[in-house]
């Protein structure tokens, strides 16, 4: 996920009852540890499986939209991985080859919504305020699909992020602009949260979450069984 490491400021009040913010911090600490302990071979294979599922999903979604006479998803907002995150970069290059527009998030100012600028394999990048690679040039785009870096998730698509609130603000701003889009959380399966996890009041559930073990609860935009007439092959490299 487009990861922001934020150190929440806790008041040093004398209480034995955890606030929701305290609980979220505890979840983040635990999930970061689980992520860091993942063996590299599992991380590599898991990333490959996630890239293949995303590639197939988008092709099917575009085919189904064309058959139904609907606008097909054309622009995907992805993210440049930080340490321990699933690496989708090989997929981004293949999407561009196949005519899908890819964008990456840019921090224009702290504590504000992200902007999405176009990315291609030869695009000039530079490190942003958090050390994450960002496109240098291009006009802001409105994505049809937003891949959301996700630390923790529930079966209902509730998301626990990194604590900076950037994607909460960004998704809220996109909704206000009235542009339809699909949100897909990208997470490792070790990020699954207990059923009693309570999301923050401002949190919107994601349309789906993708882990190395598959879709949660199911792939977005599912139209029932697919015809299977089109074979989409993801380069397994």
Q: Is the pLDDT of residue 210 over 90?
A: yes
- Mean of per-residue pLDDT scores for the chain: 85
- Pick the more confident residue, 39 or 231: 39
**How high is the pLDDT of residue 222?**
59
- Give the model confidence (pLDDT) of 20-40 as tens digits: 566 889 999 999 999 999 999
Peptide linkage before 215 cis (omega within 30 of 0): no
Q: Structure tokens of 25? A: 């911090």
Q: Where are the domains of the chain?
A: 20-216
Task: Indicate the pTM of the whole model.
Answer: 0.84
209: nearest Cα among 175, 158, 164: 158
pLDDT at 223: 44
Q: For residues 185 and 18, which has the higher predicted lDDT (pLDDT)?
A: 185
Q: What tokens were used for 156?
A: 């209902």
| 20-216 homologous superfamily | NagB/RpiA/CoA transferase-like (3.40.50.10420)
pLDDT reported for residue 22: 63
User: Which residue in 236, 206, 232, 187 sits closest to 86, CA to CA?
Assistant: 187
Please name the residues in contact with 123: beta carbons below 8 A apart, sequence gap of 6 or more: 135, 136, 137, 138
- Location of structure tokens 């923790």: 152
Per-residue confidence (pLDDT) for residue 19, from 0 to 100: 55
How far apart (Å, rounded) are the C-alpha atoms in residues 150 and 222?
Answer: 21
How many Cα atoms within 13 Å fall on the side-chain side of residue 153?
Answer: 26
Average pLDDT over residues 51-79: 96
Confidence class for position 119, pLDDT limits 50, 70, 90: very high
pLDDT digits (tens, 9 = 90+) for 44-62: 999 999 999 999 999 999 9
């Amino acid at each position: 996920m487009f990861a922001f490491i934020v150190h929440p400021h806790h008041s040093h009040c004398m209480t034995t009852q955890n606030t929701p913010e305290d609980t979220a911090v505890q979840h983040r600490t635990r999930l970061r540890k689980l992520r860091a302990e993942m063996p590299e071979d599992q991380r590599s294979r898991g990333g490959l499986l996630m890239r293949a599922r995303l590639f197939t999903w988008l092709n099917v979604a575009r085919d189904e939209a064309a058959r139904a006479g609907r606008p097909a998803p054309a622009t995907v907002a992805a993210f440049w991985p930080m340490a321990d995150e699933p690496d989708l970069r090989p997929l981004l290059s293949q999407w561009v080859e196949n005519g899908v527009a890819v964008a990456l998030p840019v921090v224009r100012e702290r504590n504000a919504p992200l902007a999405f600028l176009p990315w291609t394999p030869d695009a000039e990048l530079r490190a942003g305020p958090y050390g994450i690679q960002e496109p240098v040039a291009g006009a802001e785009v409105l994505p049809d699909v937003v891949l959301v870096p996700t630390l923790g998730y529930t079966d209902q698509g509730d998301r626990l992020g990194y604590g900076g609130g950037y994607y909460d603000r960004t998704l809220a701003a996109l909704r206000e602009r009235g542009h339809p889009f699909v949100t897909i959380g990208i997470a490792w399966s070790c990020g699954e949260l207990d059923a009693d996890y309570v999301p923050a009041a401002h949190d919107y559930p994601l349309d789906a979450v993708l882990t190395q073990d598959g879709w949660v609860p199911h792939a977005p935009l599912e139209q029932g069984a697919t015809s299977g007439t089109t074979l989409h092959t993801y380069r397994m490299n």
